[in-house]
Amino acid sequence: MSNAVANKAETEAATNSSLKQSPPQPANSHDAAKLLNGSLARTNGLTHAASSSASSSTSASNNASSGYNGSSAAGSGSVSGSGGANSSLASSSAAAVSSLLSAVTPSTALPLPPSSNGLQLPYERFRAEDTSYVPIAQFYAGRSVFITGGTGFMGKVLVEKLLRSCPDIRNIYLLIRPKRGQEVSARLTELLNAPLFESLRQEKPKELSKVIPISGDITSEELGISEKDQNLLCRNVSVVFHSAATVKFDEKLKLSVTINMLGTKRLVELCHRMLSLDALIHVSTAYCNCDRTDVSEVIYAPPYNPDDIISLINWLPEDILDQLTPRLIGKRPNTYTFTKALAEHMLLKEAGNLPVAIVRPSIVTASLNEPFAGWVDNFNGPTGLVSALAKGMFRTMMCEKNYVADMVPVDIVINLMIAAAWRTATRKSNNLLIYNCCTGQRNPIIWSEFVKHAMCSVRKHPLEGCLWYPTGDLRMNRPMNTLNCIVKHFLPAYILDGVARIMGKKPFVVNVQNKIAKAVECLEYFATRQWRFKDDNVHALLHTLSPKDREIFVFDVRHINWDNYVERYVLGFREFLFKQRPDSLPASRKRMLRLYYLHQLTKLVAVLLTWRFLMSRSKRLNDLWSAFLENALKMARLIPFL
């Protein structure tokens, strides 16, 4: 850590002169509309019809913004006033919001040039005789990189990969927020001591000194970065990876807008001041356009002007904002996908002539190979549900079993991000390229196959302390699913918690089931629908790499063997999330065998009790059963004579 601080001090010494501010970016709606129409740097603008729609929407949104300002002023006067003033605020708010909601534009794609054959740029395949080709590792040599979200799941893998595969990289600046009284230097030390960096600590410990913390906060003005550190970044950084985001599906709209939209806007403002920026990679999500079935690698016009949504969260009381959220997000399931869609459109508008690309991963899961197979550090998405399945606490959910489960390993996404930055910097273009990083087109797996592989793996490599034998079903019948949830999830949970209370122990199973139910509710939307994410740009980018770069920076999803991957996935969360060592597997397998016999015995007892209950309630059924047994005995007596 001392090396990193010293390194930062040396770099700061070379950054004494103040930096000049870049020319101001278009701030008003008229300039924004001009940029969308392609009169500025970007060429993948709206069609003529869509442009007219966007322009009229922008004009309507401007009027709404005027209403906002007036309402805000009225609101500031009415806070200290009487109930009548509050009523005036409410009516003003309603009028302004109605104005905003009436400015909705259809979800129109920003089209591709007619000659591009489905791609936003003509891609040239790698040729061995091409002497101008710059290998990816060589491109990063001597460069400094700035990463937001570097302490998150994807950010950690990105840092590790850059240090390991680009050994001559100069510095990696990480935006880190002081947390729970812990300074950024302490958080960086904790990050670099994680198992993910074990091989680097042993083989290349000096590489870790290249990681330099930048104290800041994505939710603050100017990202909470000091003027001194801003000058440092503007002078030295040439590649930026923006992966900071709130990924909570049930996040409040205000915080989601602040992080996913305002944070992006503030970063772009900083990037405009960077003297030698060659690439800005923005991490979005493939599901930001989940209101469409077919999603191409283009930006779609959002339902609202992003600036108006930002204005809305700034002046509207949070309780009213919460009530409006379902209407604002429309067909999208949550604030995450809603704000990510708006952030893309805002990036197109604010970027100007910056070299920008967007990477849209689908559901990001454990690593495929790097730095080692199965690494994962959170329970988000399918990981939490498969973990609950492995514990024997999760048995049923709403899911269309024949739909594609579009999941992508985290190292595949990171390799694509690194290659996308290389491509953006080495092939200058006016186009803002988008890469849909998905598996559904090239190597699909359906939900029933994923669950089957997961079921086999959690039985083969069971967790310690498993409560019951893992089984489960995917259903599309909601009443039946609800009944199974009550009988198989909550009824046993209340029984176990009751026993725990009797024994003087703290009950926890019901609380766990509530968390599982919440996670299932968030995932249900994506498990009961199907999308076709086109990934032509990703496929084309792959063919521009040399064979060596394809081996080092692997993002060809066709190489994924799903059976092997899911098995390593299960072993990964067993080791890295539950902290269970491989040498505990023999004892866990013995316990799993006992749970299997107990499970079968329970099913047999349940059948006998049900049959006994029916027999006691129906004389006719009793007579039929007696007749069946009598005939069976007669047949048994005849066996010696056959």
Q: So what's the pLDDT on residue 363?
A: 95
CATH number at residue 277: 3.40.50.720
Q: How far apart are CA 180 and CA 158, in angstroms?
A: 25
Same domain, yes or no: 551 and 616 = no
Task: Tell me if 470 is assigned to some domain.
Answer: no
Domain carrying residue 541: 125-377+406-445+531-558
Q: What is the residue-wise DSSP string for 160-173?
A: HHHHHH-TTB-EEE
Close Cβ partners of 383 (under 8 Å, ≥ 6 residues apart):
365, 366, 376, 569, 573, 577
- Output the six-digit token pair for 446: 């359906």
Same domain, yes or no: 207 and 151 = yes
**In 3D, which of 540, 531, 342 has the Cα closest to residue 433?**
540
Task: Tell me if 103 is assigned to some domain.
Answer: no
Q: What is the DSSP letter of 241?
A: E
Same domain, yes or no: 277 and 325 = yes
Q: So what's the pLDDT on residue 98?
A: 59
Q: How far apart are CA 304 and CA 321, in angstroms?
A: 15
Task: Tell me if 502 is assigned to some domain.
Answer: no
Q: So what's the pLDDT on residue 267?
A: 96
Q: How far apart are CA 21 and CA 381, in angstroms?
A: 42
What sign does the CA torsion over 323, 329, 331, 332 have?
negative
Q: So what's the pLDDT on residue 161?
A: 97
Q: So what's the pLDDT on residue 469?
A: 94
Is the CB of residue 137 less than 8 Å from the CB of residue 552?
A: yes
Same domain, yes or no: 207 and 355 = yes
Terminus-to-terminus CA distance in the chain, angstroms? 87
Q: Which of 522, 543, 558 represents a domain boundary (last residue)?
A: 558
**In 3D, which of 431, 428, 441 has the Cα closest to residue 538?**
441
Q: Divide the 642 residues of the chain into consecutive groups of 10 and give the mean pLDDT of each group.
A: 51 44 38 35 38 41 39 34 44 58 50 41 64 91 96 95 96 92 89 92 92 94 95 96 87 92 95 95 95 94 90 89 91 92 93 94 95 92 92 93 96 97 89 94 96 95 93 92 92 91 91 91 93 95 94 95 96 94 94 94 88 80 81 78 54
Is the CB of residue 163 less than 8 Å from the CB of residue 201?
A: no
Task: Tell me if 71 is assigned to some domain.
Answer: no
512, burial (CB in 10 Å: exposed 0-12, middle 13-18, buried 19+)? middle
Q: So what's the pLDDT on residue 71?
A: 34
Task: Tell me if 487 is assigned to some domain.
Answer: no
Same domain, yes or no: 239 and 203 = yes
Q: Which of 539, 558, 577 represents a domain boundary (last residue)?
A: 558
Same domain, yes or no: 371 and 428 = yes
HSE (CB half, 13 Å, CA atoms) of 5?
Answer: 7
Q: So what's the pLDDT on residue 284?
A: 96
Task: Tell me if 47 is assigned to some domain.
Answer: no
Same domain, yes or no: 550 and 619 = no
Q: Which of 540, 558, 576 represents a domain boundary (last residue)?
A: 558
Number of domains the chain contains? 2
Q: So what's the pLDDT on residue 303?
A: 84
Q: What pTM was computed for the model?
A: 0.82
Same domain, yes or no: 290 and 193 = yes
Same domain, yes or no: 289 and 247 = yes
273, burial (CB in 10 Å: exposed 0-12, middle 13-18, buried 19+)? middle
Same domain, yes or no: 545 and 614 = no
Bond from prior residue into 371 cis (ω within 30 degrees of 0): yes
Task: Tell me if 318 is assigned to some domain.
Answer: yes
Same domain, yes or no: 295 and 372 = yes
Task: Tell me if 440 is assigned to some domain.
Answer: yes
Is the CB of residue 401 less than 8 Å from the CB of residue 473?
A: no
Same domain, yes or no: 178 and 254 = yes
**In 3D, which of 65, 53, 56, 1 has the Cα closest to residue 27?**
65
Q: So what's the pLDDT on residue 93?
A: 57
